[in-house]
């Protein structure tokens, strides 16, 4: 073997080793863009979609376009529970789901499902932006998920066939709620008859009289056109719902290490922008609903809260002491 030939073999071997090393790193280490898919059940006209788009904008800006997020809305990739499971298995990059759904895997989070837990949005935000959020994020890591932001549908109110202006008006009212023992317990304590059913069935059920009322964020009454069949809105602020933004560990590892912190901060910032969009959507909805003939009513929230707390005490509902301490801290805000 000649010296020239040996030199050629050595060069080829070095090239092969170099290629092998490149192949063993993240595919984006060579500067390729990382594109992630975010799934949500809400449609493209919702403030939630606007919030998801804000997340995508913040991430692209923070990474100079090196990381991008495509938002897939309208439940095209499945319902909330299904998409969370997909993210846990690494089959979806980013899932979004309400906290009552996530309690299926993090039961300690049930503490956030309680009715009348928060008196205002500042307390609710202090919880997930502080100690409660840290507890959630630690538990989620054990499931292969990175909770990076908290959007929300916020406080929920009541939409009804007949006016509800005092607690006695709830007696015998068939109201649709989520399948949630605390939300259902609240309406039971008021004398109503809570009925759990899929969100998509509400309009027909209201139209046919199967139920007399529903409950959600004010903007939901407008978006789902409930005003076509019922004309009363009562401000109860009986429950607060978060929408968690959860990235799979597989997707997290696709992001170059030096970009992970910027991506996390960008998602957090985008989620906080959604909270502002929700406030705007609720205010705009209230104006439009009034123009459409919907009557807005107030009710003594303190009397509702008292009835719920009496029922909660009778059922002996208690929560993990560490989580309770974190919630108590947020209540001081």
How many domains is the chain partitioned into structurally?
2
Q: Is residue 190 domain-shared with residue 214, that is, in the same domain?
A: yes
The Cβ of residue 7 has, within 10 Å, a number of other Cβ atoms equal to 10
208-244 pLDDT, tens digit per residue, is: 999 999 999 999 999 999 999 999 999 999 999 999 9
In sequence order, the 6+-apart residues with CB closer than 8 A to the CB of 178 are 100, 196
Q: Which of 231, 250, 275 is where one domain is finished? A: 275
150, burial (CB in 10 Å: exposed 0-12, middle 13-18, buried 19+) = buried
Q: Is residue 190 domain-shared with residue 86, that is, in the same domain?
A: no
CA distances in angstroms from 323 to 111, 124, 131, 180, 318, listed in the order given = 8, 14, 9, 19, 11
156-199 pLDDT, tens digit per residue, is: 999 999 999 999 999 999 999 988 999 999 999 999 999 998 88
Instruction: Say yes or no to pLDDT of 5 above 80.
Output: no
Q: Is residue 38 domain-shared with residue 86, that is, in the same domain?
A: yes
Does residue 172 sit within a domain? yes
Q: Is residue 172 domain-shared with residue 299, that is, in the same domain?
A: yes
The CATH number of the domain holding residue 99 is 3.40.190.170
| Best CA proximity match to 281, nearest among 40, 43, 41, 48 | 48
Does residue 9 sit within a domain? no
Q: Is residue 252 domain-shared with residue 194, that is, in the same domain?
A: no
In this predicted structure, what is the pLDDT of residue 67? 98
Q: Is residue 269 domain-shared with residue 130, that is, in the same domain?
A: yes
Q: Is residue 47 domain-shared with residue 126, that is, in the same domain?
A: yes
Structure tokens, 49 = 């979609």
pTM, entire model = 0.88
Does residue 79 sit within a domain? yes
Instruction: Say yes or no to pLDDT of 20 above 70.
Output: no
Does residue 8 sit within a domain? no
Q: Where are the beta strands (DSSP E) in the chain?
A: 34-39, 67-72, 94-98, 145-155, 157-160, 174-177, 193-196, 213-216, 232-235, 240-248, 295-298
In this predicted structure, what is the pLDDT of residue 16? 40
Does residue 114 sit within a domain? no
Q: Is residue 142 domain-shared with residue 54, that is, in the same domain?
A: yes
Does residue 20 sit within a domain? no
Q: In this structure, are residues 34 and 62 in contact, taking their beta carbons and an 8 Å threshold?
A: no
266-294 pLDDT, tens digit per residue, is: 999 999 999 999 999 999 999 999 999 99
In this predicted structure, what is the pLDDT of residue 17? 37
Mean pLDDT (whole number) for 92-112: 97
Q: Is residue 73 domain-shared with residue 88, that is, in the same domain?
A: yes
Q: Where are the beta strands (DSSP E) in 156-291?
A: 157-160, 174-177, 193-196, 213-216, 232-235, 240-248
Q: Is residue 81 domain-shared with residue 230, that is, in the same domain?
A: no
In this predicted structure, what is the pLDDT of residue 200? 84
Please give the backbone phi and psi of residue 319, each rounded to the nearest 5 degrees, phi first: -135, 165
Does residue 260 sit within a domain? yes
Q: Is residue 216 domain-shared with residue 127, that is, in the same domain?
A: no
Cα-based angle 196, 299, 234 (whole degrees, multiple of 5): 50
Does residue 3 sit within a domain? no
| Best CA proximity match to 214, nearest among 204, 222, 206 | 206
What integer best gives the mean pLDDT of the chain?
A: 92
Share of the chain above pLDDT 70, in %: 91
Domain coverage including residue 304: 157-239+284-331
| Best CA proximity match to 78, nearest among 66, 88, 92, 67 | 92
Q: Is residue 233 domain-shared with residue 309, that is, in the same domain?
A: yes
């Amino acid at each position: 073997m000649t010296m020239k030939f040996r030199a050629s073999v050595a060069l080829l071997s070095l090239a092969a080793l170099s290629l092998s090393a490149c192949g063993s790193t993240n595919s984006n280490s060579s500067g390729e863009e990382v594109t992630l898919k975010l799934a949500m059940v809400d449609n493209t006209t919702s403030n939630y979609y606007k919030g998801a788009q804000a997340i995508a904008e913040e991430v692209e800006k923070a990474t100079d376009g090196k990381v991008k997020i495509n938002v897939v809305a309208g439940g095209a990739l499945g319902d909330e529970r299904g998409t969370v499971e997909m993210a846990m298995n690494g089959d979806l990059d980013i899932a979004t789901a309400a906290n009552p759904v996530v309690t299926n895997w993090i039961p300690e989070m049930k503490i956030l499902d309680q009715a009348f837990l928060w008196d205002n949005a500042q307390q609710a935000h202090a919880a997930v932006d502080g100690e409660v959020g840290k507890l959630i994020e630690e538990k989620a890591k054990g499931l292969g998920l990175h909770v990076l932001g908290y959007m929300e549908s916020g406080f929920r109110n009541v939409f009804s066939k007949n006016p509800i202006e005092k607690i006695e008006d709830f007696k015998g009212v068939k109201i649709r709620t989520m399948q949630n023992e605390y939300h259902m317990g609240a309406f039971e304590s008021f004398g109503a008859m809570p009925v759990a059913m899929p969100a998509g069935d509400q309009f027909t059920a209201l139209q046919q009289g199967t139920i007399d009322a529903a409950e959600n964020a004010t903007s939901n009454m407008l978006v789902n056109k409930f005003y076509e069949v019922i004309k009363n809105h009562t401000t109860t602020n009986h429950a607060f719902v978060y929408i968690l933004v959860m990235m799979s560990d597989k997707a997290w590892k696709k992001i170059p290490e030096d970009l992970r912190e910027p991506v996390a901060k960008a998602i957090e910032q985008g989620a906080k922008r959604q909270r502002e969009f929700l406030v705007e959507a609720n205010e705009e909805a209230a104006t439009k609903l009034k123009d459409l003939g919907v009557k807005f009513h107030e009710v003594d929230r303190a009397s509702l809260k008292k009835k719920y707390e009496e029922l909660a005490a009778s059922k002996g509902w208690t929560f993990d002491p560490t989580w309770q301490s974190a919630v108590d801290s947020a209540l001081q805000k």
